[in-house]
């Protein structure tokens, strides 16, 4: 089945005429013979809209009753059963009433489209999800009914229903939009002239972006590479130097001259990452681009001109701004065609703007400083200065007509040695010095510098050329040696990093420390959620600061020198390891949190049979008692009947207590226990506790202070705590030594002590008594399932207090409940 086509009438604000345009289009298509129905239209009491419904088939709405009110919604089933060619559906972003098949009306429209029905609908710009926050900033009103951008963007046709802000205000004043009672409020708030103008511009810009996206898709689908100047797009090429800001501002001015011009800045990074650039300068230029309303991009490519041209063509750019240094003719001849010349040659129909910078270089030769150190160059000059006179002093006494060839080769050997030690400039210096020495001491006339033969000039040039060639080989070997040494150091660093992760040592601190040491930084920090977790080095002294994101978990802050591209490439590997180490730390923390839960589950599983038995025992007793009472085969005496009823009552009460405790434990562990804190007098709780337990003065001793302050507690929960503790104390106390309950103030708290003289609990097992299902050897299954103390601890801690177990002097156990004293203002 062919999917239906969606046409959206997009407006900047209510009242611009979207519904009117939708109905007009429906009437036009109906006149052309198309089957059109009105699935849903909101007239809002507007007579002009109601008049357009005449002659159109309207599908009855579905009535939904919500809180006593009747709401009408789109009857999706009725429209599907009718199966028109075209359905008119108003207010696409509307939220349906509860009980509807779908939450949103646009979801109903999707069903119609899937059924092959064309739909014409309406929507205001403030309902588009991505623009919701912008509309709120403009109007001060947040729209609660929104729909995803994709719903509108995937429409087959989007038509803006536009109306000038002044005309919309006039329509509103005439009562054509809202009832008369709402006109003044609307004009003073949402429908102010500035708001309407901004919403209108926002609508047109959003549609322009959608049209531009469609144009790009069309060009890509049809393989169109040529530039279509639908609007100006200015691409600025950034090299990462200090002149980048000038280029960005020039490009911004070019884009600003044409309404709707777009600014794009691009930096080309080499694939090997060895091209020098300043990350600090690039970051500042990126911020400037975004401040000027442009976008920043980074592409990879070894051929800078072709990479720039490819980026410009892929973005349908019309202007390309590049910076070129001014060079004289000799410099151009030595270094060949520059980037600017190649860009101009390859640009085709893209206009290229060349922004001149300071003179880049005259007749200078390429530098070879990168391969050899300064110390080696100094050694080369020293060898030339010392070696040439020494060699002359040796050869002059031996000179003859036949020795000239050997003399020349000897001096050439010295030049080669100097080139091997010091590189180009010491070699050139040695070649000139040896040439002059040969001419002065070994070529007639002696002791004069005369170039009388072309051969002598040739020999001088040959000396220099050989020196340059040898120095090139030496410099290249030095570069490769340094690169190999760096690669070895990088491999060692990566091996250390990986080894630390595998060994499970304090990997994160080791990585931070190794990073600072490897790159020679002042300090390195790992920051997570605004907190410095790990740091190494001295406090920074205001040097360059670089922040590198470590996944989504934190940021690595580096203080010190600006790292070149080669270092940043290695740094990226370390950052990846840091992210993995942080993830491992989080997983370990999660595992440690889950360990107690797993242990608790194991304990619950192990004691499930016991719990089941404790629940079945009172249930079975109550069932047997009730069944016996209901039996007609036995005639029970009044005493027997009373005994059976008492058994049933006690069993059901025990069962109720067990179920209540189990539910309370579940609420405690889920963190949903309801606690109502209020000032509570301890004296007022003691008598209800004794009454509930049916204890008298002979069963419990009281030692209460007469001037106890009220405590902050939940009276109901505190009473249950005291009942549980006294029940245990009575159970384990010998008949001749009844338990005692006392209370006293100490340090801003009230301590309630329940003292027994029973067997007590070993110190190493006291924490276990507060764990659910622990009875510490009490296995008669007649005294509960080990939840009393666990519940008591949870209740007390929920009230902001503590409960501890102590030894009773002379033997036994004392349970101490500490609760905070209520302030006087709270008591009042």
Q: What are 35-70's pLDDT values in tens digits?
A: 999 999 988 778 888 888 888 999 998 888 776 677
Say what the pLDDT of residue 117 is. 92
Say what the pLDDT of residue 111 is. 92
- Residue 648: both structure tokens together: 């049933």
Ranges of CATH 3.40.50.300 domains, the chain: 6-219
pLDDT band (50, 70, 90) for residue 647: confident
Asked if 559 and 522 count as a contact pair (C-beta separation under 8 A), the reply is yes
DSSP secondary structure code for residue 96 in this structure:
P
- Averaged pLDDT for residues 88-99: 88
Say what the pLDDT of residue 548 is. 83
Say what the pLDDT of residue 118 is. 93
pLDDT band (50, 70, 90) for residue 707: confident
Residue 216, pLDDT > 60, answer: no
* C-alpha angle 101-104-106 in degrees, rounded to nearest 5: 105
Instruction: Express each pLDDT in 575-623 by its tens digit.
Output: 887 787 788 778 877 877 776 666 556 545 544 544 554 566 667 777 8
- Averaged pLDDT for residues 294-309: 81
Say what the pLDDT of residue 778 is. 45
Residue 828, pLDDT > 60, answer: no
Instruction: Express each pLDDT in 753-775 by its tens digit.
Output: 888 888 888 776 666 666 655 55
pLDDT band (50, 70, 90) for residue 116: very high
Comparing 392-401, 556-565, 805-814, the range with the smallest average pLDDT is 556-565
Taking residue 506's Cβ as centre, other Cβ atoms within 10 Å add up to 13
pLDDT band (50, 70, 90) for residue 785: very low
CATH class of 608-667: mainly alpha
The CATH number given to 233-361 is 3.40.50.620
Instruction: Express each pLDDT in 477-515 by its tens digit.
Output: 777 766 666 666 666 666 655 555 555 446 777 777 777
**Bridge partners, residue 86, by sequence:** 36, 118
Comparing 93-97, 175-179, 380-384, the range with the smallest average pLDDT is 175-179
- Averaged pLDDT for residues 153-174: 83
> Can you say how many angstroms the Cα of residue 801 is from the centroid of all Cα atoms in its chain?
39
Q: What are the helix (H) ranges across 32-83? A: 47-52, 76-82
Say what the pLDDT of residue 782 is. 44
CATH of 6-219, one of 3.30.70.1560, 3.90.79.10, 2.40.50.140, 3.40.50.300: 3.40.50.300
Residue 334, pLDDT > 60, answer: no
Say what the pLDDT of residue 13 is. 86
Higher pLDDT, 782 or 612: 612
Q: What is the DSSP string of 407-422?
A: HHHHHHHHHHHHHHHH
Ranges of CATH 3.40.50.620 domains, the chain: 233-361
Say what the pLDDT of residue 110 is. 92
Q: What is the DSSP string of 210-278?
A: HHHHHHHHHHHHTT--S---SS-EEEEEE-SSTTHHHHHHHHHHHHHHSTT-EEEEEEEE-TTS-S---
Closest CA to 377 of 426, 432, 429: 426
Asked if 290 and 321 count as a contact pair (C-beta separation under 8 A), the reply is no
Residue 85, pLDDT > 80, answer: yes
For the chain, give the percent of residues with pLDDT over 70: 74
- Spatial neighbors of 546 by CB under 8 A, at least 6 apart, are 279, 280, 557, 558, 562, 563
Query: Could you tell me the pTM of the whole model?
Result: 0.35
CATH class of 674-827: alpha beta
Ranges of CATH 3.30.565.10 domains, the chain: 674-827
Mean per-residue pLDDT of the chain: 75
| Upstream peptide bond of 445 is cis (omega within 30 degrees of 0) | yes
pLDDT band (50, 70, 90) for residue 277: low
HSE (CB half, 13 Å, CA atoms) of 742? 10
pLDDT band (50, 70, 90) for residue 331: very low
- Averaged pLDDT for residues 652-669: 61
Q: How far apart are CA 612 and CA 415, in angstroms?
A: 100
Instruction: Express each pLDDT in 65-84 by its tens digit.
Output: 776 677 888 999 999 999 99
- The most distant pair of C-alpha atoms in the chain lies apart, rounded to whole Å, by 157
Higher pLDDT, 779 or 27: 27
Residue 362, pLDDT > 60, answer: no
Structure-token match 């349906």, residue found: 96
Asked if 421 and 467 count as a contact pair (C-beta separation under 8 A), the reply is no
């Amino acid at each position: 089945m062919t999917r239906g086509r969606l046409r959206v009438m997009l407006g900047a604000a209510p009242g611009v005429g979207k519904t009117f345009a939708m109905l007009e289009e429906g009437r036009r298509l109906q006149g052309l013979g198309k089957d059109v129905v009105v699935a849903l239209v909101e007239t809002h009491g507007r007579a002009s809209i109601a008049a357009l419904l005449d002659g159109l088939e309207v599908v009855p709405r579905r009535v939904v009753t919500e809180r006593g009110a009747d709401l009408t919604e789109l009857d999706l089933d009725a429209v599907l059963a009718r199966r028109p060619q075209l359905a008119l559906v108003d207010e696409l972003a509307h939220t349906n009433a509860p009980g509807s098949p779908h939450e949103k009306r646009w979801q109903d429209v999707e069903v119609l489209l899937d059924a092959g029905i064309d739909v014409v609908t309406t929507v205001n710009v403030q309902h588009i999800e991505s623009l919701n926050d912008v509309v709120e900033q403009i109007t001060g009103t947040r729209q609660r009914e929104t729909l995803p951008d994709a719903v509108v963007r995937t429409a087959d046709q989007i038509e803006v229903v536009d109306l000038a802000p002044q005309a919309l205000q006039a329509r509103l004043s005439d009562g054509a939009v809202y009832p008369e009672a709402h006109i003044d409020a609307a004009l003073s708030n949402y429908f102010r002239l500035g708001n309407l103008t901004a919403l209108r511009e926002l609508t047109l810009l959003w549609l322009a972006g959608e049209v531009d996206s469609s144009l790009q898709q069309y060009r890509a689908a049809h393989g169109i590479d040529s530039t279509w100047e639908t609007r100006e797009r200015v691409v600025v090429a950034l090299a990462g130097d200090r002149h980048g800001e000038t280029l960005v501002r020039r490009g911004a001015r070019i884009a600003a001259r044409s309404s709707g011009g777009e600014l794009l800045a691009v930096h080309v990074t080499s694939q090997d990452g060895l091209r020098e650039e300043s990350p600090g300068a690039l970051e500042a230029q990126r911020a400037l681009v975004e401040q000027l309303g442009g976008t920043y991009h980074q592409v990879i490519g070894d051929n800078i001109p072709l990479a720039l041209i490819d980026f410009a063509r892929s973005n349908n750019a019309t202007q390309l701004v590049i910076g070129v240094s001014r060079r004289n003719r000799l410099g151009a001849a030595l270094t060949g065609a520059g980037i600017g010349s190649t860009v101009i040659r390859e640009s085709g129909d893209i206009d290229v703007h060349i922004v001149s910078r300071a003179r880049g270089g005259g007749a200078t030769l390429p530098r070879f400083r990168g391969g050899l150190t300064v110390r080696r160059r100094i050694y080369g000059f020293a060898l030339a200065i010392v070696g040439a006179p020494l060699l002359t002093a040796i050869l002059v006494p031996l000179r003859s007509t036949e020795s000239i060839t050997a003399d020349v080769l000897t001096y050439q050997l010295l030049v080669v040695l100097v080139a091997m030690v010091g590189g180009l400039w010491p070699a050139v210096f040695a070649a000139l010095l040896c040439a002059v020495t040969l001419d002065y001491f070994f070529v007639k006339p002696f002791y004069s510098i005369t170039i009388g033969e072309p051969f002598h000039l040739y020999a001088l040039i040959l000396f220099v050329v050989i020196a340059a060639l040898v120095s090139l080989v030496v410099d290249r070997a030095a570069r490769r040696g340094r690169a190999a040494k760096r690669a070895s150091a990088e491999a060692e660093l990566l091996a250390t990093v990986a080894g630390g992760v595998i060994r499970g040592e304090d990997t994160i601190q080791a990585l931070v420390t190794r990073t600072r040491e490897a790159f020679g930084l002042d300090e390195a920090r790992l920051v997570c959620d605004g907190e410095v977790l790990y740091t190494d080095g001295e406090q920074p002294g205001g040097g360059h600061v670089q922040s590198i994101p470590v996944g989504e978990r934190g940021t690595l802050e580096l203080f010190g020198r600006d790292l070149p591209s080669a270092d940043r490439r290695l740094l990226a590997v370390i950052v990846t390891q840091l992210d993995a180490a942080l993830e491992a730390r989080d997983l370990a923390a999660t595992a440690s949190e889950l360990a107690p839960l797993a242990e608790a589950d194991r304990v619950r599983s192990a004691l499930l049979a016991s719990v089941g038995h404790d629940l079945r025992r009172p249930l079975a007793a109550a069932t047997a008692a009730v069944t016996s009472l209901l039996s007609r085969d036995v005639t029970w005496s009044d005493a027997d009947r009373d005994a059976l009823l008492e058994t049933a009552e006690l069993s059901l009460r025990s069962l109720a207590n067990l179920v209540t405790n189990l539910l309370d434990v579940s609420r405690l562990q889920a963190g949903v226990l309801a606690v109502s804190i209020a000032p509570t007098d301890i004296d007022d709780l003691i008598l209800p506790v004794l009454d509930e337990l049916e204890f008298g003065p002979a069963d419990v001793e009281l030692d209460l202070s007469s001037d106890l302050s009220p405590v902050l507690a939940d009276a109901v929960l505190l009473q249950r705590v005291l009942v549980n503790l006294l029940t245990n104390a009575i159970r384990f106390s010998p008949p001749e030594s009844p338990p005692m309950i006392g209370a006293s103030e100490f340090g801003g708290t009230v301590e309630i002590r329940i003292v027994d003289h029973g067997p007590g609990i070993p110190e190493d097992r006291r924490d276990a008594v507060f764990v659910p299902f622990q009875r510490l050897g009490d296995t008669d299954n007649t005294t509960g399932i080990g939840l009393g103390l666990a519940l008591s601890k949870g209740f007390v801690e929920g009230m902001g207090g503590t409960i501890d177990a102590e030894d009773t002097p002379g033997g036994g156990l004392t349970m101490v409940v500490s609760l905070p004293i209520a302030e006087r203002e709270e008591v009042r």
